[in-house]
């Protein structure tokens, strides 16, 4: 039986997504992008899973696109979700990157498709495309300036230099730094903290924040309500209020 290029493990209401091409430093080819896209579809469609963590097998997050596959004419993308099966349409629910080793090129852009980043202290990040006269077209050019100050983003993009997890934490790109080998554990700890809260509210919050970058303030007042309504009218909303009145922990259903 052939191995799964991307495999999952469910831990309660958290889905762990593991890129599984360690022999290629978890670089993405067309088949890996398709596998990721299918998994993200399933994650979005399963109301009983509230949050996901994406990581890489073999001590590396991702070295980006598989250049050998690209040389054969393969595109590491899908029509539905774009590059790596996730770049243009990330999941609607919260997604955390757990980074060990290298997150380079598309690997760093994969982090930018996530909402939070937990990285091992010895992890390295970089957008080195310009060194090969290539352009970071996986979202890096417009997402990097949203994650870090403009001048820092330009340094990353124009020098192509590698950066440490500690440096990127100072710049606000990395949320937490863990001991080597403990990035997934750190991401799961952060995920469990998040999941104390209502899952439909979490999903709506993410969707509003992501969409708001394209709104004026006047538009935001009107348009946020369309995305908030499903959460405000959900069973979880009623459960949250009832649990508060009864002074107990809520039991979330994701609907």
Look-up: residue for tokens 């001048």? 151
Contacts of 21 (CB under 8 A, 6+ apart): 5, 27, 32, 57, 66
**Residue 166 belongs to what H/E stretch?**
helix 165-170
129 is catalytic: yes
Helix (H, G, I), strand (E, B) or coil at 136: coil
CB contact set of 44 (below 8 Å; sequence gap of 6+): 91, 92, 93
Cα distances (angstroms) measured from residue 111 to each of 21, 48, 100, 128: 17, 24, 12, 15
Q: How far apart are CA 247 and CA 236, in angstroms?
A: 16
**Distance from C-alpha of 25 to C-alpha of 6, rounded to nearest angstrom:** 13
Of 9, 100, 109, 233, which residue is the catalytic one? Answer: 109
Mark whether 74 is an active-site residue. Answer: no
Contacts of residue 235, defined as CB under 8 A and 6 or more positions apart, other chains included, come to 253, 255
Cα–Cα distance measured from residue 156 to residue 141, given in angstroms and rounded to the nearest whole number: 10
Active-site hit among 23, 80, 129, 179: 129
Looking at the chain, which runs of residues are DSSP E strands? 6-11, 14-19, 51-56, 77-78, 82-83, 95-99, 102-104, 116-120, 124-126, 163-164, 176-178
Residues marked active site are found at: 109, 129
């Amino acid at each position: 039986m052939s191995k799964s290029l991307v495999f999952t493990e469910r831990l309660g209401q958290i889905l762990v997504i593991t890129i599984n091409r360690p022999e290629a430093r978890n670089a993405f080819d067309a088949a890996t992008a398709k596998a990721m896209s299918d998994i993200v579809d399933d994650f979005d469609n399963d109301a009983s899973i509230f949050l996901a963590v994406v990581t890489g097998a073999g001590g590396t997050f991702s070295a980006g696109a598989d250049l050998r596959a690209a040389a054969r004419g393969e595109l590491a993308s899908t029509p539905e979700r774009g590059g790596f099966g996730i770049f243009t349409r990330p999941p609607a629910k919260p997604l955390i990157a757990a980074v060990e080793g290298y997150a380079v090129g598309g690997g760093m852009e994969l982090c930018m498709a996530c909402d939070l980043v937990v990285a091992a202290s010895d992890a390295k990040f970089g957008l080195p495309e310009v060194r090969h006269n290539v352009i970071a077209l996986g979202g890096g050019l417009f997402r990097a300036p949203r994650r870090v100050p403009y001048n820092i983003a330009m340094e990353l993009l124009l020098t192509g230099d590698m950066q440490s997890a500690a440096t990127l934490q100072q710049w606000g790109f990395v949320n937490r730094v863990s001991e080597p080998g403990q990035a997934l554990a750190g991401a799961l700890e952060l995920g469990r903290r998040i999941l104390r809260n209502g899952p439909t509210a979490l999903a709506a919050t993410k969707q509003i924040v992501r969409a708001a970058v394209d709104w004026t303030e006047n538009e935001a007042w009107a348009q946020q309500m369309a995305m908030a309504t499903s959460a405000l009218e959900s069973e979880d909303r009623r459960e949250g209020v009832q649990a508060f009145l009864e002074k107990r922990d809520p039991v979330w259903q994701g609907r």
